[in-house]
């Protein structure tokens, strides 16, 4: 993996870059659609590519349960399973340490989950997490980490951060494939000084990139942005910065201007499957369940060039959703993902124009 910064905005941290991987190059800033089990729900790889996405994210914990790492390997690896030919990033399962709190036990060794599917035990150590991701064949891989809630005390956060740093050192010693890049994953809860401490600990190992985790876990947006800024300001300018779990158009715009290069979140596609679409880059929501939308003959957004807005009137998309037709989930997902990538593409063009 190689990352280059092409241009920067002299008035903010916004920058245009290119992330080069073995499976292709991706202009940044960019949004990564989430394909938890490999595929982005309801979309084909061609659909995903048409939204402007150049890289997709999958989840190690969920893939380990279903269909299982051995099955993925027999089928030719993650790229063959998903039929996505571009770059892929795999999360470590660290967020599930937070979101599945009632189904796991944490120790210095790692995390033991009780599967939410069938109740069997699943043990994830730092070494096993890296081994799984190496075998999946992802381009960018993440270390095991412990994410805490926004309400965590300083002591709880310090303990989790110390464990995350220790796990990072073990992950960094585990073998990966030559073309893969293991990012350092930065925690620190709601404490800016602990986040800067996490950066200092990671810098000593000179990782190829940095992931900022543990945000959007219940804190106010203003706190999120303050902590992103404090973290990014401590990071080297020549390495990619990935902010985990941010997916609203306004949040992407704000954080890209703080210097973030990569984003991911389930929000745009989960919203779409639940009948919500954005009608503009400000993130104005339309509820496809509303009967009034059946009268709308125009597109979801007048200035959107996605295939949904080009070919499908809003009233038709609403009618499909209200009839529980799966096609509605696909059409809405294509639109929401396209809008997010349009937000970031417009910012990228602005940087290149002023450079």
Active site residue ranges: 91, 264
Rounded-to-integer distance, Cα 4 and Cα 351, Å: 14
Q: What is the DSSP string of 38-96?
A: SSPTT--HHHHHHTT---EEEEHHHHHHTT-HHHHHHTTSHHHHHT--S-EEEE-SHHH
Which CA distances in Å does 219 have to 151, 224, 255, 305?
Answer: 8, 7, 15, 34
Angle subtended at Cα 201 by Cα 8 and Cα 257, rounded to the nearest 5 degrees = 20
Point out which residues pair with 31 in neighbouring strands. Answer: 263
Q: Residue 350 and residue 8: Cα distance in Å, rounded?
A: 10
Q: How far is CA 327 from CA 21, 139, 242, 272, 294, in A?
A: 33, 31, 32, 11, 16
Closest of 90, 218, 107 to residue 166, by C-alpha = 107
Tell me how crowded residue 43 is: count the other CB atoms within 10 A of its CB.
23
Contacts of 276-282 with C-beta under 8 Å, sequence gap 24+, read 276/332, 277/317, 277/332, 277/335, 277/336, 278/249, 278/335, 278/336, 278/339, 281/249, 281/253, 281/339, 281/342, 281/343, 281/346, 282/249, 282/250
Quote the DSSP letter at residue 222: H
List the beta strands (DSSP E) in 130-216. 140-141, 181-182, 184-186, 210-212
- Paired tokens of 282: 């400000």
List of residues 6+ apart from 306 with CB closer than 8 A: 50, 51, 334, 335, 338, 339
Q: Contact, 228 vs 258, CB < 8 A?
A: yes
């Amino acid at each position: 993996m190689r990352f280059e910064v092409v241009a920067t905005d002299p008035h903010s941290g916004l920058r245009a870059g290119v992330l080069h991987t073995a499976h292709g190059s991706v202009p940044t800033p960019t949004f990564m659609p989430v394909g938890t089990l490999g595929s982005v729900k309801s979309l084909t790889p061609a659909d995903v590519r048409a939204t402007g996405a150049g890289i997709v994210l999958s989840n190690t914990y969920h893939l380990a349960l279903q269909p299982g790492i051995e099955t993925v390997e027999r089928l030719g690896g993650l790229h063959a399973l998903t039929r996505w030919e571009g770059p892929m990033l795999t999360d470590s399962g660290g967020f599930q340490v937070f979101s599945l709190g009632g189904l796991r036990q944490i120790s210095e060794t790692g995390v033991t989950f009780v599967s939410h599917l069938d109740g069997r035990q699943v043990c994830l150590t730092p070494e096993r997490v890296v081994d799984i991701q190496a075998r999946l064949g992802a381009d960018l891989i993440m270390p095991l980490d412990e994410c805490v809630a926004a309400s965590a005390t300083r002591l709880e956060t310090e303990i989790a951060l110390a464990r995350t740093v220790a796990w990072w050192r073990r992950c960094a010693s585990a073998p990966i494939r030559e073309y893969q890049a293991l990012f350092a994953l930065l925690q620190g809860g709601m404490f800016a000084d602990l986040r800067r401490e996490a950066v200092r600990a990671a810098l000593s190992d000179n990782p190829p990139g940095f992931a900022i985790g543990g945000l959007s876990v219940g804190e106010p947006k203003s706190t999120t942005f303050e902590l992103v800024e404090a973290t990014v300001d401590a990071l080297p300018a020549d390495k990619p910065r990935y902010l985990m779990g941010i997916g609203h158009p306004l949040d992407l715009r704000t954080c890209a201007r703080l210097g973030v290069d990569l984003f991911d979140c389930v929000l745009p596609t989960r919203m779409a499957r639940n009948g919500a679409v954005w009608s503009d880059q400000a993130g104005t929501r339309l509820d496809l369940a509303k009967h009034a939308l059946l009268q709308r003959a125009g597109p979801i957004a007048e200035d959107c060039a996605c295939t949904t807005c080009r070919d499908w009137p809003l009233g038709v998309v609403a009618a499909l959703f209200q009839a529980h037709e799966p096609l509605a989930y696909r059409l809405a997902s294509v639109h929401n993902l396209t809008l997010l990538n349009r937000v970031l593409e417009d910012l990228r063009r602005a940087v290149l124009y002023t450079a």
